[in-house]
Amino acid sequence: MKTGLNLNHEELEKYQSYAEEHLGFRFNDIGLLVTALTHRSYVNEHRKIHIEHNERLEFLGDAVLELVVSDYLFRNFNLPEGVMTALRSSLVRTEANSLAGVHLGYDPLIRLSHGEKAGSERAHAVILADCFEAVIGAVYIDQGESAARDLIYKFTISKLPQILEDESWRDAKSYFQELVQHFYNAIPTYHTLSVDGPDHCREYTIGLYVGETKIAEAKGHSKQEAQTICAREGIRQYKAKGMSLPIAGMNEKH
């Protein structure tokens, strides 16, 4: 893989040392790891030399990640397709991949443009998530399927028990409505309490109510985001009271 790394031996060794400490091996082609942690913006800022960004590796890693997670769910749970799809989505969504990136600790090695370095926290979370998929792709090519699978088991599938426990795999708004209908024979409502900020960066404050009782209040950059946060809080409160709805086949296979 020709990458045009534009890095000296000492700089490359930083990536090898990282791989040894956090991944447990040295890359045969350290350029794969460097490329996995190279954002498109960095390439655009260094047009005079050929440097490959991580989007091709991200494409591959995304496919490997989905396959490994799908295989695990299929082999270990007797669940309908829709439920397995929801579980997989919760495991591989941007927030989950970004958190995996934080735990892997590669943030200081990501190559970004000066503009991206000063970007928002939300934008950086997306970059961390994309790099996680690219690192999976790099490991898959350099070390093989087994090493990539081990990485995914450690940083993605290991989160499944918590996702099952807090039921965050469910669509929060739909599930909270099911809970309210089942236990109270009512329908929850969402009310916009305030809208703040300039047109390009609105912040919505939403209240979640069951009847006249306010269950939760949350802020978000969209009404949908704030409503979802409210619904998750409602689910948490109901679950603390022992109020939940089981899914047939949720028990693991034996």
So which residues are the catalytic ones? 62, 133
Residues 6+ apart with CB under 8 A from 219: 203, 204, 205, 206, 226, 229
Q: Provide the CA 169 distance to its chain's centre, in angstroms.
A: 12
Q: 169: closest CA among 63, 95, 71?
A: 95
> What H or E segment, with its residue span, contains residue 215?
strand 213-220
The C-alpha R_g of the chain, in whole angstroms, comes to 22
- 111 touches 134 (CB < 8 A): no
User: Strand, helix or coil at 180?
Assistant: helix
CA dihedral 123, 128, 133, 137 (to 10 degrees): 120
- What is the CB-side half-sphere exposure of residue 245 using CA atoms within 13 A? 13
> Measured between alpha carbons, how far apart are the two ends of the chain, in Å?
43
Residues 6+ apart with CB under 8 A from 56: 137
- 53 touches 39 (CB < 8 A): yes
- 179 touches 238 (CB < 8 A): yes
